[in-house]
Amino acid sequence: MRNWLFLECTKCKDRYYRVTKNTTKQGKLELKKFCRLCRAHTPHKERKK
């Protein structure tokens, strides 16, 4: 089963990416995404709603 979660920017703490994650995998998801407020590609970490 897959769960919905949000990705939060590590610099400005803004959440606007919503992705799904497989529940059988362990560990936090971290992707490098474009942040609209920082105007740069920054690491985004997994956060719950």
pLDDT digits (tens, 9 = 90+) for 2-49: 888 999 999 999 998 999 888 887 788 899 999 999 999 999 999 876
d(CA 23, CA 42): 25
Residues 2-47: name the CATH superfamily: Ribosomal protein L33 (2.20.28.120)
pLDDT at 37: 92
d(CA 48, CA 38): 22
d(CA 38, CA 44): 12
d(CA 26, CA 34): 25
Residue 10 per-residue DSSP state: T
**Domain boundaries of the chain, sorted by first residue:** 2-47
pLDDT band at 1 (very low <50, low <70, confident <90, very high): confident
